[in-house]
Structure 1
Amino acid sequence: MNNAKAITFGIQHLLAMYAGAILVPLIIGGALGFNTEQMTYLVAIDILMCGIATLLQVWSGKFVGIGLPVVLGCTFTALTPIITIGHSAGIGAIYGAIIASGAIIVLISGFFGKLVKFFPPVVTGSVVSIIGISLLPTAITNFGGGVADAPDFGSTTNLLLGFTALITIIVIYRFTTGFMRAISILMGIIVGTVLGMILDVVDFTPVKEAGWLHMVQPFYFGAPEFHLEPIITMTLVAMVSLVESTGVYHALSDICKKPIGSKDLAKGYRAEGLASIIGGIFNAFPYTTYSQNVGLVQITGVKERKVIFITGGMLVILGFLPKAAALTQIIPTPVLGAAMIAMFGTVITQGMKMLAPEINKSMENALIVACAVGLGVGVSIVPEVFKNLPETLSILFANGIVTGSITAIALNIVFNMIGRSKTETALNTMSQSDTVKR
């Protein structure tokens, strides 16, 4: 493949993942009250780190990298935990938890395959569903304008912008295929923003004030702080992401006709852990494989790692350009909310897709899901329910993700592992592996 074609395919991969990459820092920065300068840095460093994480994963070294054409971005499963930690323990605790969870993943990468049995689809699907559902209030609030008690919340202009973006996403996804479908959310954001410019509600001040070039710096938002509850939360999130990544690795292995073994998986896990450590140091986020780019590999038939190296390189370059990052801040809040509804809805449906065969398999699994999702979402809405527990436990279980995860893991052990014969356990593990691969 010549360089011109490789660059073209590299740009396709960048566009396919770009909406997801910029939404995460925009949502987190907005929820934590970052100013314009901080938001610009947060978006820029996230884009840069997406590139570094991708390069770490594509490069097949002795200890790091799965060596498959995979693109990495910040996992949406980390959104709610990061925002919750930020509000309860501060920004330093966010990055301390990200660094610590990344280090834990690196340490357990060699034998994580043995821990996967504790994270079957009935567990991971429950966790993913809890995360997606808990994110919806943020999406709807943004859809209406961003501040629920603002005079213009739910105004005609805000709803017009939001519905225009959402309808654009739906129409493109319905009537196109391949690459255009893969960038439907990005196109919805662009169309909604253009309408915002026509209606004169777009502010270009962040772009004007941003510089053309900047240097990144470690601990830009402050030194990391290490607290038990945030670390446990982010480690659970990281493990769920690894289970999802395992499915992506196997899917790409089949597409590329490149068999992978336990050592390859360990290198892939290690790359994600290392990316999280670096991300925490530079005040970015934990990273995971992006399935939309796997779909693009399958659609185009282009499997060369050279293309993904180019994508990673372009992301790194963009990360040093503040004006490129500042462009994301001109997106009207209702348009951002529309994109969030589509993205978070996808997270929920992904969880449902994982859970559907498990619920049909047995009533025990249905009860596991009912209790895990019920407690997880319930605690996310009413975290005060555990306020009378000892302080350590109340802090831990006030987090809906942790409560739901622990509930799902514990009930899966009770119903599906204790008292089962080795043959049943082996068959169940094989079934879970097949589900992940699909």
Structure 2
Amino acid sequence: MKFPKGGSAPATDAPGSAVGERPEDERPPLRLMLTYGVQHILALYAGVITPPLIMAAAVGLDPVETGLIISAALLVSGLMTLIQTLGVWRFGMRMPLVIGASFIPITAMTAIGESSGLPAVFGASLVAGLFGILIAPVMASLIRFFPPVVTGSVITVVGLALIPVAVGWITENDASGVPTDTGLLLGGATLVMILVLSKVLRGVWGRASILLGLVLGTLLAAALGQVDFASVGEGAVFSLPTPFHFGPPEFQIAAIITMCIMMIVILSEGMADILAVSAVVGSKVDGRRLADGLRADAATAVVGPLLNSFPGSTFSQNIGLIALNKVKSRYVVATGAALLVAMGLFPILGRVVAMIPSPVLGGAGIVLFGSVAAAGIQTLAKVDYEGNQNLVIVAVSLGFGVLSIAAPDFFAGFPEWATMILHSGIVTATASALILNVFFNVLGGRDRRTEKPVEEPGPAPETVGSEASDRS
């Protein structure tokens, strides 16, 4: 999109770029930056707040503490998006990319959190973040080992692994697994409202259907007397973050290994999203710039635990928004990031989210988490299955990924450190996909083609509330 004369500024801060060379360096007028920045917030908000909500439920946080980690997730998302869009030294792509709390490590973090608490989660995330920063250049050079057959399999498993979380919200984690009549009503009504909104709304409002569905579902729950408003008034309205609010990080070997594996997956997803946004924007990406973007993704796992949040990744649904409205300016995304930082400094907003009844979250979670799996399936559709063993790679990887979902105690007989690592279906899916891809497609001295031949481009399908090629 071209803006009025005087509405753009020359690029001077990107290494190796000439003045006015890149479309992402345009500066629209301030009023447009605010308008389009708010659109990006609407597209990502539900995705940013969901991982901390899952973690809060897993470790039994009260509403005030839940509000705190939600605010922290918004704050970290805003800060790291500013770094990704504007760049700080060798961190940041200087592209219109949004970073938010990642869905990929959720199942691993809940397992760690349930057994050892949030300090162990934060300690493992810190080490994984440093590990990710170190390997970012290597990952950028090894992109051929992460073709769609690998990333698609892993992202699909991420979505499938999160579906039980949504079901647990609807049943309010009752031991019987049977929802109450009210829980079933609220979860079902929220799901229906999201689907109707997705049908009747268009553009950015359609992408915000999950957020709007949560609001309407909460209003229905309030009418039924199922919302506790008392906790909203507890705690400060405005507050600066307190580093390590839940205690100093703890470093456990098995948890660290698990999170380092998760970091490899996060970075592989980040590579796919960075390449996707470069195609949408029409800007070239070399190995150095790709590594700078991956460092920003990895650094979120360092900054996040410091401020009581979690590892993050690039959000692909915002790339779809750029393709939709044709606004390619990174300064638009940076404006939205500044608004996120401001929102993160008001814990009361987090407590408002924390009061949403569990069944309402469950109804939205079915769509949100299912969309993550659908994004993985969409990626797998790019794979060429003729004359190779890619179907076997997908089949075995999905099988290993679903194994711990179908039989949670399958690895219980293994040593404790191995059980913690293998308990995550994402770990087993990632390991099997990588190993099998190397075995079938790399060994023998050449890479075999794993993507379908390029066809005449058509309109990209949209997924309701899609989080990532997340992935999510």
Q: Tell me the residue number matched to 1:216.
A: 241
> Which of the residues 24, 34, 44 maps onto 1:17?
44
Name the SS for the 2:381 alignment partner: helix
Q: Tell me the residue number matched to 1:252.
A: 277
Q: Distance in 2 between matches of 1:200 and 1:157?
A: 11
Q: 1:146 to 1:383 in 2, by over 3 A?
A: closer
Deviation per CA, 1:57-114: give whole Å up to 9, x if none: 0013431110111111111112111101112333222111111111111111122123
Contact 2:384 / 2:452 at 8 angstroms: preserved in 1? Answer: no
> Which of the residues 188, 191, 195 maps onto 1:170?
195
Answering whether residue 56 of structure 2 is matched by residue 29 of structure 1, we say yes
Q: Distance in 2 between matches of 1:381 and 1:79?
A: 17
Q: Distance in 1 between matches of 2:256 and 2:47?
A: 24
> Which of the residues 42, 66, 77 maps onto 2:69?
42
Contact 1:146 / 1:334 at 8 angstroms: preserved in 2? Answer: no
Q: Tell me the residue number matched to 2:33.
A: 6
Higher percent of residues as helix: 1
Name the SS for the 1:303 alignment partner: coil
- 1:253 positional shift: 1.8
Answering whether residue 267 of structure 2 is matched by residue 242 of structure 1, we say yes
Q: Tell me the residue number matched to 2:370.
A: 345
Answering whether residue 56 of structure 2 is matched by residue 56 of structure 1, we say no
Q: Tell me the residue number matched to 1:284.
A: 309
Contact 1:65 / 1:270 at 8 angstroms: preserved in 2? Answer: yes
> Which of the residues 206, 209, 214 maps onto 1:184?
209
Letter in 1 for 2:187: G
> Which of the residues 105, 125, 135 maps onto 1:98?
125
> Which of the residues 389, 400, 424 maps onto 1:364?
389
Q: Distance in 1 between matches of 2:398 and 2:35?
A: 43
Q: Distance in 2 between matches of 1:269 and 1:239?
A: 10
Q: 1:362 to 1:37 in 2, by over 3 A?
A: farther
Percent of aligned pairs sharing the same letter: 34
Letter in 2 for 1:196: A
Q: Distance in 2 between matches of 1:281 and 1:68?
A: 25
Answering whether residue 140 of structure 2 is matched by residue 142 of structure 1, we say no
Deviation per CA, 1:312-362: give whole Å up to 9, x if none: 111111111111111102212111001110011011111222223437345
Question: Could you list the runs of 5+ residues in structure 2 that have no partner in the other structure?
Answer: 1-27, 458-468
Further displaced range: 215-224 or 153-162: 153-162
Q: Distance in 1 between matches of 2:380 and 2:415?
A: 33
- 1:8 positional shift: 1.8
Further displaced range: 260-269 or 384-393: 384-393
Answering whether residue 353 of structure 2 is matched by residue 328 of structure 1, we say yes
Name the SS for the 1:343 alignment partner: helix
Q: Distance in 2 between matches of 1:19 and 1:261?
A: 32
Q: 1:175 to 1:363 in 2, by over 3 A?
A: farther
Q: Tell me the residue number matched to 2:231.
A: 206
Contact 1:56 / 1:275 at 8 angstroms: preserved in 2? Answer: no
Name the SS for the 1:73 alignment partner: strand
- 1:390 positional shift: 4.4
> Which of the residues 55, 75, 78 maps onto 2:102?
75
- 1:379 positional shift: 2.5
**What is the TM-score when the length of structure 1 is the normalising length?**
0.91
**What does residue range 263-282 of structure 1 map to in structure 2 within 5 Å?**
263-282=288-307
- 1:208 positional shift: 1.4
Deviation per CA, 1:141-175: give whole Å up to 9, x if none: 2123443449xx52332222212211121112223
Further displaced range: 328-337 or 376-385: 376-385
Deviation per CA, 1:246-297: give whole Å up to 9, x if none: 2222222233222221111011011111121111222211111111211222
Question: Could you list the runs of 5+ residues in structure 1 that have no partner in the other structure?
Answer: none
Contact 2:210 / 2:364 at 8 angstroms: preserved in 1? Answer: yes
> Which of the residues 388, 391, 401 maps onto 1:376?
401
Letter in 2 for 1:142: W
Name the SS for the 2:250 alignment partner: coil
Q: 1:149 to 1:272 in 2, by over 3 A?
A: same
Q: Tell me the residue number matched to 2:7.
A: none
Instruction: State how many pairs are aligned.
Output: 429
Deviation per CA, 1:14-68: give whole Å up to 9, x if none: 1111111111111110121111221111111111011011111001343111011
- 1:226 positional shift: 2.0
Contact 1:233 / 1:401 at 8 angstroms: preserved in 2? Answer: no
- 1:417 positional shift: 1.7
Contact 2:98 / 2:318 at 8 angstroms: preserved in 1? Answer: yes
Further displaced range: 386-395 or 276-285: 386-395
Contact 2:153 / 2:398 at 8 angstroms: preserved in 1? Answer: yes
Q: Distance in 1 between matches of 2:397 and 2:80?
A: 32
RMSD of Structure 2 on Structure 1 (CA): 2.3
> Which of the residues 394, 399, 402 maps onto 2:424?
399
Q: 1:431 to 1:336 in 2, by over 3 A?
A: same
Q: Distance in 1 between matches of 2:53 and 2:242?
A: 20
Letter in 2 for 1:351: G
Q: 1:189 to 1:35 in 2, by over 3 A?
A: same
Contact 1:376 / 1:404 at 8 angstroms: preserved in 2? Answer: yes
Name the SS for the 1:288 alignment partner: strand
> Which of the residues 96, 100, 108 maps onto 2:135?
108
Q: Distance in 2 between matches of 1:383 and 1:196?
A: 32
Letter in 2 for 1:343: L
Q: Distance in 1 between matches of 2:353 and 2:84?
A: 26
- 1:227 positional shift: 2.3
